[in-house]
Copies of this chain bind each other. A is one copy, B any other.
Amino acid sequence: MSLTVVGSVAFDALETPFGKREKILGGAATHFGLSASFFTQVNAVGVVGDDFGDEEWDVFRRHHINTNDIEVVPDGKTFFWRGRYDYDMNTAHTLDTQLNVFETFQPKLSENSKDARLLFLANILPTLQKQVREQMPDAEFVAMDTMNFWISSMKDAVIETIKVCDCIIINDAEARQLTEEPSIYKAARAIMDLGLKAVVIKRGEYGATLFTRDGYFAAPAYPLESVFDPTGAGDTFAGGFMGYLAAHTEINDETLRRAMIYGSVMASFNVEKFGTERVDGLDYPEINERFRTFKQMTHFDDIPFERATAA
């Protein structure tokens, strides 16, 4: 049932219309791991500097995330990102990026991490993603993320990595950029044709859509009146999605659909507070209550229209 994630562990400095934080826990593997930890046992693979303190490690410990494969570089500094969001919370403005120890990150997977049934390759160099995937030939379901920077600078490597995965979880702009196809539906099918079983397109405030070989599922976004801090929402979605799948023996259309909703549920919580604050403090009743709300938001009775029923 376990799940391994490889990706960044970082410090973020954030500024939104609602406030700011100077140095808080962030990173793709962090947001993914926290979210997934509500559903399954998570192994996190990453690298930090020795400026990574007890307060940060405690967040992982609280959620029983295995951090044995998070390498600590002596005298190294942890990946740092400073970003700002204006009222259009859909776009992050990067003010500063210090890769630090992440610049030379070489993922080292212990046997325990390699034994996981599921693997998530968070957004890192596509060639590194591929190397990690090849260290886990028996993984049952492997999903990946990527970003516009890699698509524009090394698209071939991104495609080679996609070819060894089962699922990709990206946003609509990345799907269009990768395929040069304006229609998100054609784009998703084109990516699927690289050999994937599932393509998940994240559409921000419009929700997320799942494409499988012969299926399509539309998950709405939770109607949040205000997004407090969108940082990590995509990784939190992926964590709920993969975590839910890891908790089930069957990965089929039904579990994939519910995984889409649990991913949406977790992402909707993530944006309610800064960084990891909201997800860190979540409990199961809250999670399932919001899951039920998603059901209510989309449910309608399957009653075909008959002219005769006309009143």
- Residues of A whose CB lies within 8 Å of any CB of B are 1, 38-40, 87-88, 182-186, 189, 203, 205-207, 209, 215-218, 220-221, 223-226, 244, 246-249, 254, 257-258, 260-262, 284, 287-288, 291-292, 295-307, 309-311
- Give the distance in Å from the alpha carbon of A258 to the alpha carbon of B213 in the complex: 28
Query: How many protomers of this protein does the assembly include?
Result: 2
Which of B40, B217, B300 is A300 in contact with, Cβ under 8 Å? B217
The answer to whether A292 and B302 have CB atoms under 8 Å apart is yes
Chain B residues closer than 8 Å to A207, beta-carbon distance: 206, 218
Q: How far is the CB of A2 from chain B (nearest CB, A)?
A: 10
Given contacts A207-B218, A218-B220, contact A310 B257 (CB under 8 A): no
14 contacts between A and B (CB under 8 A): A39-B307, A203-B206, A215-B296, A216-B223, A216-B297, A218-B220, A218-B297, A244-B305, A246-B311, A248-B311, A258-B301, A284-B307, A292-B302, A298-B298
The answer to whether A300 and B248 have CB atoms under 8 Å apart is no
Chain B residues closer than 8 Å to A203, beta-carbon distance: 206
Q: How far is the CB of A250 from chain B (nearest CB, A)?
A: 9
- Give the distance in Å from the alpha carbon of A247 to the alpha carbon of B249 in the complex: 45
The answer to whether B248 and A309 have CB atoms under 8 Å apart is yes
- Give the distance in Å from the alpha carbon of A302 to the alpha carbon of B301 in the complex: 14
Chain B residues closer than 8 Å to A295, beta-carbon distance: 300, 302
**Which residue on B lies nearest to A227, using beta carbons?**
B183
The answer to whether B185 and A305 have CB atoms under 8 Å apart is no
The answer to whether B310 and A291 have CB atoms under 8 Å apart is no
Which of B87, B186, B218 is A298 in contact with, Cβ under 8 Å? B218
The answer to whether A249 and B311 have CB atoms under 8 Å apart is yes
The answer to whether A217 and B297 have CB atoms under 8 Å apart is yes
**Which residue on B lies nearest to A204, using beta carbons?**
B206
